[in-house]
Structure 1
Amino acid sequence: MKQHKFLKITISLILLVALITVASIFLSYNVLTVRTFSYETDKAVDPVRAVVISDLHEHEFGKDNVKLVEKIREQEPDIILMVGDFVNQDSTESTVVVKLVEQLSKLAPVCYSLGNHEESYMAKTDWKFPKEIEKAGAHFLDKEYVDMDIRGTKLRIGGMFSYAFGADGKDSAAAAPEDVKKFLMDFQDTERLKIMMAHRPDSFIFGDAASVWDVDLVVSGHDHGGQVVVPFAGGVFGGDQGYFPKYVHGMYEKDRLHLFVSSGLGSANEPLPRVNNLPEVAVVEIEKSTQT
């Protein structure tokens, strides 16, 4: 009798855990959340409200992403930063992301940078992808930057998928490829507030890149917040960072730069689905530091 009761309790617990997991997976792909983060700078700025999105992976929140667009509209953004992986490497077309850019560009200036899936998609399917994104209304930035004046604040927005260091065994910034060094030296030569869109946080966290390059704020995605988020432990997977990565979601300080990492909006064909990990529209409030 006791064994029968124990078996019933065990089965009930297993079913409960399975139900909670299935519900968590569903929510992690379908229920948008908005999270707000603050970035303070000593530079002369008026408040700027930047929306950061990444890692859509061709997912749609309603037809033509109407729910995503409306959620972003509600945030009243001054600028929208799209930080890569909006297509999949095996996508056959770019209709989903092109329609999204067309809608978002009516809300605020849009900047778009490459992710690893765009790189593969362009190589396999559509090398004209950057022109399609620009025609839809965004600034497409890869080892390029654009200067903007927004609400009295002078910004320099750059985009770079490459690592900001080289493969010399020490991940030294000095060993970075010449085109990367040339771009970064040009990018940092300004008094404007410098924001770099780098899909992988890995691009600036290894070696001495964060102490060598003069970038105010790096915005990234790529790691999907760790894909599976364990309560009290955080995200599990972090690409080059390994398991339970340090730089996986939120605002960080590293050496001379700040780094913001979004948990993104979806995922592609990962070994595990997103779990306990709501798709994120991130708002980064850029403000003048109040510290004296």
Structure 2
Amino acid sequence: MVKILVILFFLGILFILWQKWELTKFEVTDYAVMSEKIKKAHRAIVITDLHGFTYGKKNQHLLEKIKDCNPEMILIPGDLIVSKYSDTFGTALELLKELVKIAPVYYSFGNHETRLRSPEKMNHCAFQNYVEEAEKIGVKILNNKSFLVSELENIRIIGLELPVGYYEKGRIVPMKSDVLEDLLPMPEKNDYVILLAHNPAYAEYYAKWGADVTFCGHNHGGLIRIPGIGSLLSPQLTLFPKYDAGKFQKEGKDIIVSRGIGTHTFHIRIFNRAELLNIQFLPK
């Protein structure tokens, strides 16, 4: 019995050390999406779920990797911050100040940002200041708004901000059939539509609505991944999330879900390394 307890103790220490080491690492994952609407190749970086994490002093290691990818645009589908911890606002803003020097930055809110819209929430005022400062430095915040990136090619980025009710713990809240039509501006028929939508649970709805490619985060890759099977548990506490990480196709449209670059609350990544997405948009 004593031997078993000693073995379990050392296994526990090894696990803690492994996870501390794992949370200092991330990888760059390459994806290509193709469309007849795209006339020439473009590159983008997708950053999700930073949650105030840093890789190197002032995120220098992360910034170096982004520069190496030479993106034309930087897409952020939410959760740069942790709503409960205002110090993460400063970390996110510091990163944004450097990102706008690399390429135009397009940012739509996730659940951590959206919940701080309520004046009753702790850190509401600090969050308002964070948003104002981000806009001052040139970050384009697209909450249920669109931005035409290229008139020559009709490349349009639209950011979806879902109400916080769609992030209920323990279950996937059914989506009303007309919610996207009510929230989002309708693009032109010939537009190539890039949708930033934090919550991947509604991937079918995004594709049906008409997004050519949707970038999501939120699930952090599912916290714990079983090789060959997928994720076990999402941060929303749903088991075996369908859209945990990777590239999916619905209605002939692409949905790409990032494992995220940070964590919060449950600081574990088991066979689930943090990632930065390097995207190529190619003519078909």
Whether the TM-score (by the shorter chain) exceeds 0.5 is yes
**Residue 66 (1) aligns with residue 55 (2):** no
1:217 Cα offset (Å):
0.6
C-alpha offsets along residues 50-85 of structure 1, whole Å, 9 cap, x if unaligned?
111111111111222111111111111111111111
1:173 maps to amino acid: S
- Which residue of structure 2 lines up, in the alignment, with residue 136 of structure 1? 137
C-alpha offsets along residues 163-202 of structure 1, whole Å, 9 cap, x if unaligned?
7xx9xx964423x2xxx42443x33324121000001112
**Pair 257,48 (structure 1): closer, same or farther in 2 beyond 3 Å:** same
1:14 Cα offset (Å):
3.9
**Pair 42,17 (structure 1): closer, same or farther in 2 beyond 3 Å:** farther
Distance 2:58 2:251 in 1: 41
- Which residue of structure 1 lines up, in the alignment, with residue 170 of structure 2? none
2:226 maps to amino acid: V
**Residue 251 (1) aligns with residue 247 (2):** yes
Distance 2:241 2:110 in 1: 19
Would the aligned equivalents of 2:201 and 2:242 in 1 still touch at CA under 8 Å? no
- Which residue of structure 1 lines up, in the alignment, with residue 219 of structure 2? 223
- Which residue of structure 2 lines up, in the alignment, with residue 193 of structure 1? 192
2:280 maps to amino acid: E
Alignment of 1:250-269 (within 5 A): 250-269=246-265
Alignment of 1:3-14 (within 5 A): 14=8
**Pair 121,191 (structure 1): closer, same or farther in 2 beyond 3 Å:** same
1:264 Cα offset (Å):
0.3
1:40 Cα offset (Å):
1.6
Distance 1:44 1:63 in 2: 38
1:282 Cα offset (Å):
0.9
Q: SS in structure 2 opposite 1:287?
A: strand
Answer with 131-140 or 22-31: which moved more. Answer: 22-31
**Pair 210,265 (structure 1): closer, same or farther in 2 beyond 3 Å:** closer
Would the aligned equivalents of 1:33 and 1:281 in 2 still touch at CA under 8 Å? yes
1:16 Cα offset (Å):
6.5
Distance 2:187 2:103 in 1: 25
1:17 Cα offset (Å):
4.3
Would the aligned equivalents of 2:77 and 2:198 in 1 still touch at CA under 8 Å? yes
**Pair 154,188 (structure 1): closer, same or farther in 2 beyond 3 Å:** closer
Would the aligned equivalents of 2:28 and 2:276 in 1 still touch at CA under 8 Å? yes
Q: SS in structure 1 opposite 2:210?
A: coil
Distance 1:140 1:157 in 2: 11
Distance 2:14 2:150 in 1: 47
Instruction: Structure 1 unaligned segments of length 5 or more: list them.
Output: none
C-alpha offsets along residues 87-120 of structure 1, whole Å, 9 cap, x if unaligned?
1111225211111111011111110110111122
**Pair 16,33 (structure 1): closer, same or farther in 2 beyond 3 Å:** farther
- Which residue of structure 2 lines up, in the alignment, with residue 202 of structure 1? 201
1:25 Cα offset (Å):
1.4
Would the aligned equivalents of 1:197 and 1:219 in 2 still touch at CA under 8 Å? yes
1:122 Cα offset (Å):
3.9
Would the aligned equivalents of 1:32 and 1:278 in 2 still touch at CA under 8 Å? yes
- Which residue of structure 2 lines up, in the alignment, with residue 273 of structure 1? 268
Distance 1:264 1:182 in 2: 28
Distance 1:233 1:49 in 2: 30
1:128 Cα offset (Å):
4.0
- TM-score, scaled to structure 1: 0.82
- Which residue of structure 1 lines up, in the alignment, with residue 96 of structure 2? 101
Instruction: Structure 2 unaligned segments of length 5 or more: list them.
Output: 167-172
Would the aligned equivalents of 1:226 and 1:236 in 2 still touch at CA under 8 Å? yes
Answer with 102-111 or 250-259: which moved more. Answer: 250-259
- 37, 58, 62: which one pairs with 2:31? 37
Q: Provide the identity percentage.
A: 26
1:132 maps to amino acid: E
Would the aligned equivalents of 2:96 and 2:139 in 1 still touch at CA under 8 Å? yes
Would the aligned equivalents of 1:202 and 1:240 in 2 still touch at CA under 8 Å? no
C-alpha offsets along residues 177-231 of structure 1, whole Å, 9 cap, x if unaligned?
xxx42443x33324121000001112433xxx24631110110000000011222
C-alpha offsets along residues 212-270 of structure 1, whole Å, 9 cap, x if unaligned?
31110110000000011222222212366931222111110012421110000111113
- 94, 107, 121: which one pairs with 2:116? 121
**Residue 78 (1) aligns with residue 68 (2):** no
**Pair 252,16 (structure 1): closer, same or farther in 2 beyond 3 Å:** farther
